[in-house]
Structure 1
Amino acid sequence: MEFSNLSDSLEKLPFIKTVAGPLDGDQWIERLKEEYTVLIQYIQANKDDDHDWFEIESNEDGTKWTGKCWYIHNFIKYEFDLQFEIPATYPSTPIEMELPELDGKTHKMYRGGKICLDIHFAPLWQKYQPKLGIAHALSAALGPWLAAEIPVLAEQGVVKPSS
């Protein structure tokens, strides 16, 4: 696969082959199996690299996801609730990652705590969809967003360390 100028972690992730969304019945189940496989692979690679930074789980049909993500800045851990829903038009429409407790704390976020992905991630998603999935969105969207925003928010005192 060819991802120019992207992280090694994203380059190591295989593409999703099944083209289906939540409204596609059995095809969605097949896609969801692939999504879980790639997600497990990504989590394991992060653990192997001592770079564990999120935990997520889905509802029964794989359309609503919740969990935690965290970022270490200056040896201090900042942890946030993470949630997202799979859009009905997925995979042609990218996932909107939400960090609700950061709502209104940065300009790089939309109402409800949805992180801004327009400039950097949305074009990548459009170029490679329907081959990208949840693990790709975490790797190429949420991870870089946290790396860019959390240090600034921490230095400004906008976010507080985890207890």
Structure 2
Amino acid sequence: MAEISAEVAAIPCLSTNAGPRDAENWVTRVKEEYLALIQYIKQNKERDNDWFKLESNKEGTKWWGKCWYLYEHQRYEFRVEFDIPVAYPQAAIEITLPELEGKTAKMYRGGRICLTDHFKPLWQRNIPKFGIAHAMALGLAPWLAVEIPDLVQKKLISVE
């Protein structure tokens, strides 16, 4: 757990409390999001723990890419996508893995991963400091670590 805490502590905190409706301030927030993501990806690569790629539309309101998880020497790769809610950052993003929809109980309709019990309360305590990089590190990464081995063992997913 200390390693995860150090990893998360190294992700820059954001300061602009703005969402997509905040025209000018949203541009500042998106720049902060990108800087935090760049730092997080850089530190992951330095630790040989590169596990996702993201890009966004020019407004920074729609994001997509790939994430992957290594389990038993196999790489399981999935599309990842999310929209920034209009109430962001007061409302956390809902990360979606469309290919896994219906394969686990820890997922909502549309392939949105369940972050309600563990991540969303943490997000609420850290508004506006947390952003996309934090959601990846504290939301998607632990979800993958729990769910992918279980899905593999149940033979619900396999390497193609």
TM-score, with structure 1 as normaliser: 0.95
1:81-109 per-residue CA deviation (whole Å, 9 max, x = no partner) reads 00000000000000000000100000000
Higher helix share: 2
Q: Is 1:25 the equivalent of 2:23?
A: yes
> Secondary structure at 2:88's aligned position in 1?
coil
RMSD over aligned CA atoms reads 1.3
Amino acid at match of 2:20: P
Structure 1: distance between partners of 2:4 and 2:114: 18
1:10-64 per-residue CA deviation (whole Å, 9 max, x = no partner) reads 1211210111000000100001001000000000000000000001100010000
Return the offset for 1:6.
5.1
Structure 1: distance between partners of 2:157 and 2:77: 9
Structure 2: distance between partners of 1:83 and 1:96: 9
Structure 2: distance between partners of 1:38 and 1:5: 18
Query: Which residue pairs with 1:106 in the alignment?
Result: 104
Q: How does 1:13-162 map to 2 (within 5 A)?
A: 13-161=11-159
Contact 1:7 1:140 (C-alpha < 8 Å) held by counterparts: no
Q: Which runs of no fewer than 5 residues in structure 1 stay unpaired? A: none
Which consecutive segments of 4 or more residues in structure 1 shift more than 4 A?
none
| Aligned residues with identical type, % of pairs | 53
> Secondary structure at 2:59's aligned position in 1?
coil
Amino acid at match of 1:117: L
Amino acid at match of 1:32: V
Work out the number of aligned pairs and report it: 159
TM-score, with structure 2 as normaliser: 0.96
Q: Which runs of no fewer than 5 residues in structure 2 stay unpaired? A: none
